[in-house]
Amino acid sequence: MKRIDHIQLAAPAGGEEQAKRFFGEVLGMEEIEKPETLKGNGGVWFRFGDQQVHVGIEDPFSPAKKAHTAFEVEGLPEMMVHLESEGVEMKWDDKLPGADRCYIWDPFGNRIELLEWRVKS
């Protein structure tokens, strides 16, 4: 294996606009165009840096409540203030040594971890 190419999160049918608002506007990811051959499947794709997040439509839909994606961030306290102002539910967690982290949930109930390492290795 070489690297993770992208992560995919699930959303219910019709969830594209909510995904655009949350991942694009709230989290600040850039929406990218899906290949023409995949547009008929629904969903929406995003990029930040050289990473991609694909939000795919799943029917029947079931959110990931334990399995999750973790994003390393810079300035977690400031990000938490921003997320709170956007009405995003957060839960602080202090169980990972050397990191500050919290969990948030996307509009579909998928759990997402945000973490900032206090000491870089």
Residue 119: pLDDT band with limits 50, 70, 90: confident
Average of per-residue pLDDT across 51-72:
96
Dihedral Cα 90, 85, 107, 46, nearest 10 deg: -100
Q: Which domains does the chain carry?
A: 7-117 (3.10.180.10)
pLDDT digits (tens, 9 = 90+) for 12-40: 999 999 999 999 999 999 999 999 999 99
**pLDDT exceeds cutoff 70 at 52:** yes
Q: Specify the pairing of strand 44-48 against strand 51-57.
A: antiparallel
pTM for the whole thing? 0.92
**Structure tokens given for 3:** 């690297």
| pLDDT above 90 coverage of the chain, percent | 98
**pLDDT exceeds cutoff 90 at 121:** no
For 19, phi then psi, to 5°, come to -65, -40
